[in-house]
Amino acid sequence: MSLDRKYLIIGGTALVLVILVVLFSTIGSVNLSLGEIISSLIHQDNSMVMTIVYKMRLPRNILAVLIGANLAVSGVLLQSVMKNPLADPGITGVSSGASVAAIIILLLMPQLSGALPLFAFVGGAIACALVFIMAWKNGLRPERIVLAGVAINTILGGFISLLSTLFSDRIQSAILWLNGSLATKTWSHVDMLFLYSLIGLGLSLFLIRSANVLQLGDESAKNLGFNVSRTRLVISAVAVFLAAISTAVVGIISFIGLIVPHIARLLMGSDHKYTIPFSMVLGAIVLLIADTLARTIGGSIEIPVGVITSIVGGPFFLYLLLMCNFKEKFSII
C-alpha cells in the first residue's frame, strides 16, 4: 500500500468518525431527525431536543471517541513494549488497580464519590508501579512484565471479590462502574478528560520512532544508541496514563486495546507512523458503535458498554490465541 493511500485511509476514517458522531446523536429511545437537531441547535427553539442531543447524547458520543482513542493507542504502545500481540492495558494492572480503588470508595466511603476518578487513577498507577517493580531485574523484559501483571491482577481480583462478598448489600452502587458505562456522563466529564487525552495522545505521536526501534529487538536498539529499559518505561508510562485516565472516568472497558491494534496492523502494517494515528480513529469508532448499541438494543434498559465490548472482544481474543498457536506450530514444522 502506498504512502499516500495510507494517509487517505486515515483521513477517510476520521471523516467517517465525524459523520457517525452526528448520526448517532439522532439514535436512541427518542429518535430524532437530523433536520430537527440542526434547527434546534441553530434557533434553540426546542428545549426537549436541546436537552436530549446537546446535554445527553453529544457529550456521551464525544466521550466515547476520546476513550476509544485512548484505550486503542494504549494497547498499541503496550504491545510494542512487550512484543506480545495479546497484551492490552489490563495486563499492567491499571484496570484492576482502578477497580479496587473505586470499589473501596463506592462501598466504604460513598461520600467521596465525587473524587472517584482521582482515586481510580491513583489506584491504577500504584498497581502498575507494583507490576514494574516486580518485573525489574537488570532492566525490564516483556515476559517478566506479563508474569508480574498476571500476579497483580489475580491478587487485586481476589480483593475485589472479597469486598463484594463482605458488602454484598451495597455492591449495586459499584456494578455500573465496574462494568464500564458512559451513562449519565455530561460535558463536565468531557472537559475533565479532553486535556489529559490531548496530552497523552500527543505524547504517543512523539514515541513513534522509539516504538519502531523496539520492534528491531533489544540488541539492535542498543546498537542504535537506545536505552532499552528507559524506552520501555517511557512508552509504558504513556500507555498507562492513557488507560488510567479513561478507566478513572467511565470504569473498566476491556478489549478495545486488544482488538483495535490488530485491525490497525492488518490494514496499515507494522509501522507505528501509521498504526498509532489509525488506531486513534478506529478505536474511537469501535467504542462509539459499541456505546450506541449499549444504549439502544436493550430498549428501556441500558446495557453497560463494557459488557458489549467483552461479548465481542472475548471471541476475538480466543481467535488471536488460536492463530498464535497455529503460527507457532507451523513455524516449528
Per residue, the 3-state secondary structure of the chain, as one string, reads: CCHHHHHHHHHHHHHHHHHHHHHHCCCCCCCCCHHHHHHHHHHCCCHHHHHHHHHHHHHHHHHHHHHHHHHHHHHHHHHHHHCCCCCCHHHHCHHHHHHHHHHHHHHHCHHHHHHHHHHHHHHHHHHHHHHHHHHECCCECHHHHHHHHHHHHHHHHHHHHHHHHHCCCCCHHHHHHHHCCCCCCCHHHHHHHHHHHHHHHHHHHHCHHHHHHHCCCHHHHHHCCCCHHHHHHHHHHHHHHHHHHHHHHHCCCCCHHHHHHHHHHHHHCCCHHHHHHHHHHHHHHHHHHHHHHHHHCCCCCCCCHHHHHHHHHHHHHHHHHHHHHHHHHHHHC
Where do the structural domains in the chain lie, given as residue ranges?
3-332
Superfamily (CATH) of domain 3-332: ABC transporter involved in vitamin B12 uptake, BtuC (1.10.3470.10)
Q: What is the pLDDT of residues 182-192, one digit of tens each?
A: 888 888 889 88
On the question of pLDDT at 326 being above 60, the answer is: no
- pLDDT score for 38: 67
Region 255-277: what's the mean pLDDT? 89
Percent of the chain whose predicted confidence (pLDDT) is above 90: 20
- pLDDT score for 39: 67
Region 179-201: what's the mean pLDDT? 87
Q: What is the pLDDT of residues 283-294, one digit of tens each?
A: 999 999 999 998
